[in-house]
Amino acid sequence: MRTSVVVIGAGQTGLAVSYFLSERDIEHVILERGSVGQSWRSERWDSLRLLTPNSQSRLPGHVYDGNDPDGFMTMTEVVGFLDDYARRIAAPVRSGVTVTSVRRRGSAYQVGTDDGTWDADAVVIATGACNTPRIPAVAEGLPDDVVQVTPADYRNPDLLPEGGVLVVGASASGAQIASEVQRSGRQVTLAVGEHVRVPRTYRGRDLMWWMEVTGRLDERYDDVDDIVRARHLPSTQLVGTPERVSLDLNTLTAEGVRLAGRLAAVTNGRAQFSGSLRNVAKLADLKERRLLEFFDEWAVEAGLDGALGPVERYEPTRIEDEPPLSADFAADGIRSVVWATGYLADHSFVDIDVLDRKGQLKHDGGVVTASPGLYRIGLPVLRRRKSTFIHGAGDDARDITEHLAGYLASVAVDEAECAVG
């Protein structure tokens, strides 16, 4: 089979790329291992909602048109939104096709799947950022009878065994799961490393509204001070709920969650926690405050200071005098561990020398310069801070498609010149 461009993955980024390819009349297919929005369908927990409000559910040529712009979509609603989009733009999705390899064939590409092989001039990998849960090496020391889950297979508290739960990681996933497990009646210990504290709403507006209007989310990858750090930041401690509540460590403490430092080791049936809890909480408090000050300054400059609610500052994170430095799985009755320790993007199907020593794809804003015609979209801060947000897919897809169209044109010129020569 042959086409000009193979897009791998029919999530928001793959569909947005398809939109712009169609706009330019570039022939393409989207190969999708499952159905449109497969990760949203199958790798998310029951209570999860988007962290961005409905007003930011925007894709090129497709916007949320419901009556709750401040609400947050459930996973079913996200899948419905993407399904509608795929239909609306007549995306050429081949469902149930798993890509097993991407190889170079001369100046072109061969994409192997479990349903035949595709030859293409260019390939766009749009397989999402959260393919493989990252489980730290200390997991090897866990007692055999302790149940381990990740946010990709966690569904709800009822599926965890009775007893205490150690949640490792205090980003959006870890904080949300810690909260609902604690509220289900199980004692949660939350191992807290570096995290990003933010309020859900500030001065009456959603955090994501602030992030967008101040231009923070549009900051480009080549303008960010420290791109390595920006790309590895844990997700903000946010939850999307109808009540629009904030979810920070103080909320969790009030619910009864016990805070501990970063999980540093597991030996002889004991978890050992770092003594750095106070500092990671302090770093998060200081960064939150800097962010709020940045918002306040923007509001004054934008002439909106009077139109917004009053300036707010939040109580520093409460840390008990002597946070636990260890926990004994048996003696303390901890029966399960939730690894909310982040994800890695999986590029193991790419049989081209474009991966770094950690197996991550080397790219410049999504352009895989070492292999012309190969592109990636939908990684953290790929081209902008909003690259992994639903409404971030559009601008990145437009840029990538523009570059790709230029590449196809240059290849066509080369071929024409060869034919003449």
Partner 1 sequence: MTTTPTANNGVNTEVLLGARKALADEPAGAQFTWRATNEWLHATHTKATVKSYFGLGAEQGHKVESTFEMDHPETFGEEDNAVTPVEYVLVGLGGCLSGGIAAVAQNRGIQLRSVKATIEGDMDILGILGADPDVRNGFNNVRVNYEIDADASEEDIEALVAQSQKRSAVFDIVTNPTNVTVSVTKA
Q: Which residues bind partner 1 (CB under 8 A)?
A: 194, 223, 228, 261-262, 264-265, 267, 272, 274-276, 279-280, 282-283, 286, 289-290, 322, 357
Pick between residue 2 and residue 229 the one whose CB is nearest to partner 1.
229
Q: State the minimum distance, in angstroms, from the CB of residue 352 to partner 1.
A: 20
Distance (Å, whole) CA 177 – CA 167: 8
Q: State the minimum distance, in angstroms, from the CB of residue 272 to partner 1.
A: 5
Distance (Å, whole) CA 16 – CA 100: 23
Pick between residue 84 and residue 194 the one whose CB is nearest to partner 1.
194
Closest CA to 326 of 278, 276, 275, 270: 270
Q: State the minimum distance, in angstroms, from the CB of residue 376 to partner 1.
A: 20
Q: Do residues 339 and 149 touch, judged by C-beta distance below 8 A? A: yes
Beta bridge partner(s), residue 367: 364, 375
Pick between residue 205 and residue 270 the one whose CB is nearest to partner 1.
270
Beta bridge partner(s), residue 116: 113, 114
DSSP string, 378-417: -STTSSBTTTTSGGGHHHHHHHHHHHHHHHHHHHHHHHHH
Pick between residue 84 and residue 285 the one whose CB is nearest to partner 1.
285
Pick between residue 144 and residue 322 the one whose CB is nearest to partner 1.
322
Q: State the minimum distance, in angstroms, from the CB of residue 240 to partner 1.
A: 29
Pick between residue 270 and residue 403 the one whose CB is nearest to partner 1.
270
Q: Greatest CA span in the chain, whole angstroms?
A: 80
Helices (H), 129-185: 172-183
Q: State the minimum distance, in angstroms, from the CB of residue 224 to partner 1.
A: 10
Distance (Å, whole) CA 225 – CA 233: 13
Phi, psi at 311, each rounded to 5°: -60, 135
Q: State the minimum distance, in angstroms, from the CB of residue 374 to partner 1.
A: 21
